[in-house]
Chains A and B, each alone.
Chain A
Amino acid sequence: MVKVTLDGRPLELEDGVTIFAAALREGIKIPHLCYHPAFPPEGSCRMCLVEIEGSPKLELSCSTAVRDGMKILTASPRVVEARRQVLELLLSEHPLDCPICDKAGECRLQEYYERYGRFEGRFAEAREKREKKLRIGKNLILDRERCVLCTRCVRFLERITGTAELGVFRRGIRSEVGLFENETVDNNYAGNLVDLCPVGAITDGDFRFTSRTWFLEEKASICPHCGRGCAVRLDIHPGFPRVPDTRKVHRIRPRENPAVNGYWICDRGRYQYAYLGEGRATRILLANSGRETVWSWEKALIILVEKIKGLKAAGKLSRLSVILTTAMSNEELFLARRIFKEGLKPGSVYFVDPEDGEADGFLMTAERTANRRGARELGFDLEPPDLDRLSRASDILLIFSPFLAERYAVSGLQRSFQGIAAKYLFTTRRSAVDALVDIILPVCFVPEKSGSLTNCDGVTQRFSRAMEPPGDSCPEWRVLSDLGRELGMRGAEFESPSAESIFGELVRKFPFFG
C-alpha cells in the first residue's frame, strides 16, 4: 500500500494504481481524450496532465502510478493553465461544427471548453481542409476535420475486435485516420466506435441528424436479442407535446458491466430497436369470425379463468397446453412454473424460441433469446411442440411466445390449431398466427417492463421499466400473477405482486438467482 495526498486529501492506495484511477475513486474527473479504461494508457492527448510536488514537469495521470509520499495536485494553476493550452491547440484546427454535429451535448471538447476554457482562441490562420463525410462502415461516417487523433478507434479495432481495419496515415498535422483502399469497418462491433470517439469525428449513420442529444432521456435496460444480456442504455425522446408520434427510442448504447459486456455491445443489439414501435399488438382483440372486437383485460381474464376452471372441473387439466419462450423474464418463467407445473399440472409446457444463429466469438451468443439459462435453472427442459401431438392433446392452448410464425409454417399451425378448442395468444407483435387464435393479448418487450434475466454465464441482471408500453400492452408477469391469483394460487407473488416481490419469492425458492 502507498500513502499519497491528492489535492490535500490523504489516501492509502494499492501499488500500481494510476493517479487517474485514484482521482476517479475520489470523485475527481480528470479531463482526458485518448485514455480509455479498456486499453493501456496511450499518453498522446496530454489533457490529463497533473502536478506532482517536486517534479519539474507535469505528469500524465493516466499512466503514472502512485508512489509513496506523492503529493498530487489535479487542479493547481499550472495544471489548469496546461489544460487551457492543450485545449486551445485542439480547438485551433477544430471546425466550429457544433450547430450541425451530432455529438453536441455529449462532446468532450465542448465539456472541457466550458470547464477550462471559454477563451477566445487566437488561431487566425487557414485551417486544414479535410474529408468531412467519409463513409468508413455501414453506419460509420468519419469527419477528419473534427478528429483529434486520440486513436481510440484504431486501438479498439486492434485490441478488442482484432480486425485492425483503421490506421493512422501520414504524420504531423497531416496525420489522418483512414482505411486501406476500399476496405470498410464492417465487424459486429463497429458501432462502439461512435461511443468511443470523444468528439463528433465518427458519427453513427443510423442516428445522424435524428435528434439532439439533450432531448433524449437515458434509461437503463438489458438487450434482449441474445443470451449475453448486455447492459444497455436506451436513449428515448419523450416526444414533443402536441406533435404526434415523436416519442421513440433513438438509439441504444452500452452500459458498463464488467461481469457481462464490459464497455461494449454488438451491432446486432445496438441497431435493433425499431421493433419496439413496429407492428405491435396493442389491444386485446377477440377474433370473431374475421372481425376484431376490442376487449379489456378484466373481461379477457374472466373468460380465460373460466375456461381453465372448466377444464379442471372436468378433470382434464392434462389437456391444457402452454407454449412459453426463453425471451421471458425470470419472474415470468417462475410464475409460469408455479402455475403450470406446480399448480395446474397440465399436459405440457413447451418452448418456441427464434432459431439459433452463429456466435461471433465475443459477445453475441448463438442463442437469440436473453433468458435460456434462467429457464434451464428454473427446471424447464425447453422442448418445442410437435404440432400434431399438440393438436391431439390440447383443448386449451396458451401461447406466450411471439415466435411461432418464424419457426413453423402457418399452414401447419393452422391445421394443428383446428383441433384445439380454445387458443389464446399473448404476444408483442402482430403476425400470421393472429388469425389462428381466439384472443390476442398484447404484452411487453424487455424495455417496457421490470424483472430480471440470467445470461449464458449465469449472471442474473435486474432491469426496470425504461419506457411505457404501447396501448393496452401488459407485462407477462402481471398477466400471470393475476391469472394465478384468480386460479387460487397462494403466495406473495400472486397476492401482492410486483417485479420486486416476485423476484424475492424466486430467490427464496431458487437461490441460484440471488
Chain B
Amino acid sequence: MDERAVTRFWESENLAGIGVYLAGGGYQAAREALHHMEPAAVLGEVRKAQLRGRGGAGFPAGVKWGFVPASVDKPKYLCVNADEGEPGTFKDRAIMSRNPHLLIEGIILASFAVGVHSSYIYIRGEYEALAGRLETAVREAYEAGFLGGRVFGTDFDLDVTVHLGAGAYICGEETALLESLEGKPGLPRLKPPFPATVGLFGCPTVINNVETLANIPWIIRNGADWFLRQGLPGDGGTRLFSVSGMVRKPGVYELPLGTSLRTLIYDHAGGLPEGKKLKAVIPGGLSSPILTAGEIDVRMDFDSLAEAGSMLGSAAVIVIDDRTPIFEVLKATAGFFAHESCGQCTPCRLGTSWIRKIVQRMSEGERRGTDLETIESAARAMRGKTLCPMGDAAALPILAIISKFKGELAEGLTPSPAR
C-alpha cells in the first residue's frame, strides 16, 4: 500500500533522530500552519478529515477539540495518551520508538489548534526505556526551536513534558489518566463534567491517543480530502493494526480502514504457521468480543465490527489457533480485568474478581455445571452499570467467549445437581 502516512519512512535509518525526520519533510506542516494558518483553520481541517480517535473509543478528534471553550481564563492542556495498556496493542510503542518526531509535530499542531501551551505525554511505566528516548526527541525539538518559547519563530509557545505512569491499565481511561497525572491513584471520574471543560487541574483539557496525533501532520500536509480518501466515508485515514498471536509475521500494519480481517491476517501477517489452523480472532484488543474463524471476512472499521457484535477498539488483532484451548483465552481475559480493576465501583471490583475466582478454580481442575452460567451472570451484572467503560470491557469479551465457544468450554463440566 503506497499511501501510508504514519508508518511511511519507517524503513529509514534513524528516523527517530530529528535530522532524518526533517530531511524527509518533517515539521514542515507544523511550520506552515503556525506561520500561515489560524488555529480555527487547523481545527477545521482535522474536523473535515473525520479523524476518529485511535485509542479505542473512536471519538472524532476534531469534535473533541471543538468542545474546549474558545476563551477562558484558565490554561488549556493537551494530554497525550501513551498508556497503551490494551493487550495486543503495540502500535503506539512503535510510533514513539520509530518516529517520535511525528508525534511531537502532531502535538504542536493540536496544541496550536486548541490554544494549548502545556502538553503532557502520559506514557505507561513499562515503557520506561522508550520514555527516555522520547525525552531525547523532545529535547532535540526544544533545541531546534520547535518547542518552548517562539515555536518556529512565531509567538506561539509550547512546553511538552514526558510523564511516566507506573503500571495501571485503567490509566488509559482518560479521566483516570488525569487523576494519575495529578498525583492520585487512577480512579476514573464521574462524567459530566467532561475533560474538555473540567480536566487536568480543573482546566479545559484534550486527551488524544498517540496514533491520533501522529495523523495530524499528514492531514495538514496533504489536506483533509486526501485523508478522507484513504479511509471510509465519515471515517478518514488509515489504521495501524497491531497483529500478534499465532501468525507468521506479527507486527504493525498500516492499512486503510475497511480492510478485511482475512486480508490482514493472511495477505499481510503471513497467515498461521505450518500445521496451525485458525480457531478464533480477537479483532480490537482484549476488550473486544471474540470472532470465530467463520467471521473473519468482516471489514476492519468501527461500524462493520460493531454490526458484527464486536468492536475496532485499539485495532489490536490477536490470532488464536485450534491447538489453543479457548479456556486459555477466557483465563487470560478474566485474570487481566480482575488485576486491572481500579476497585472504585461495586460491579467491576466484585464482578471481575468473582469471574476470576471461578476461572481459577476451573483451571485447577474443579469444574461445576453452573460455572459458565454464573460467569455470564456476573458479567451481565457488570454490563452497563459501571462508573467507567472498563466494566463493559471486562464483561462483553467474556460473554462473547462463552456464547461462541460454549461447547468447548462446557466439556468436562460436571452436570449441575437437579434443582
Contacts and interface: CB of A to CB of B under 8 A. Distances in A.
Interface of A: 41-47, 49, 56-58, 60, 63, 82, 85-86, 88-90, 92-93, 122-126, 128, 148-149, 168, 170-175
A24 B280 CA distance: 51
A89 B349 CA distance: 9
Given A172-B353, A173-B338, A125 B386 contact: no
Contact of A43 (B170, B190, B361): B190
Nearest to A47: B346
Contacts of A89: 346-347, 350-351, 354, 378, 381
Contact of B347 (A86, A168, A175): A86
B385 interface: yes
B357 interface: yes
B341 interface: yes
Nearest to A33: B346
Interface string B178-201: 000000010000100000000000
B385 A85 contact: yes
A43 B388 CA distance: 10
28 contacts: A41-B190, A46-B345, A58-B385, A85-B380, A85-B385, A88-B381, A89-B346, A89-B347, A89-B350, A92-B350, A122-B377, A124-B368, A125-B358, A125-B361, A126-B357, A149-B346, A168-B185, A168-B343, A171-B185, A172-B338, A172-B339, A172-B340, A172-B342, A172-B343, A172-B353, A173-B349, A173-B350, A173-B353
B292 interface: no
A42 B168 CA distance: 21
Given A171-B343, A173-B338, A58 B384 contact: yes
Contact of B350 (A58, A60, A93, A168): A93
B28 interface: no
A123 B349 contact: no
Given A46-B346, A122-B377, A175-B349, 5 more contacts: A49-B385, A92-B350, A125-B357, A171-B341, A173-B341
Contact of A170 (B343, B344, B350, B352): B343
A118 B386 CA distance: 23
Contacts of A148: 346
B349 to A, nearest CB: 6
A227 B338 CA distance: 52
B222 interface: no
Highest count of chain A CB atoms <10 Å: which of B340, B368, B385: B385
A63 B349 CA distance: 21
Interface of B: 168, 170, 185, 190, 338-347, 349-354, 357-358, 361, 368, 370, 374, 377-378, 380-381, 384-387
A171 B342 contact: yes
A86 B384 CA distance: 12
A85 B341 contact: no
Nearest to A122: B374
A63 B377 CA distance: 27
B176 to A, nearest CB: 11
Contacts of B341: 171-173
Contacts, number: 93
A85 B381 contact: yes
A122 B346 CA distance: 17
A117 to B, nearest CB: 13
Contacts of A126: 357
B385 A173 contact: no
B380 to A, nearest CB: 7
A42 B340 CA distance: 21
Nearest to B343: A175
A337 B354 CA distance: 70
A508 B346 CA distance: 56
Given A41-B190, A46-B387, A172-B352, A86 B346 contact: yes
Nearest to A82: B385
B279 to A, nearest CB: 29
B263 to A, nearest CB: 33
B354 A92 contact: yes
Contacts of B374: 122
Highest count of chain A CB atoms <10 Å: which of B345, B368, B380: B345
A86 B385 contact: yes
A92 B353 CA distance: 10
6 smallest CB-CB distances across A and B, nearest first, come from A175-B343, A173-B353, A85-B381, A172-B341, A125-B357, A89-B350
A41 B191 CA distance: 11
A148 B350 CA distance: 10
B386 A46 contact: yes
A49 B185 CA distance: 25
Given A44-B346, A89-B346, A171 B168 contact: yes
Contacts of A92: 350, 354
Nearest to B392: A57
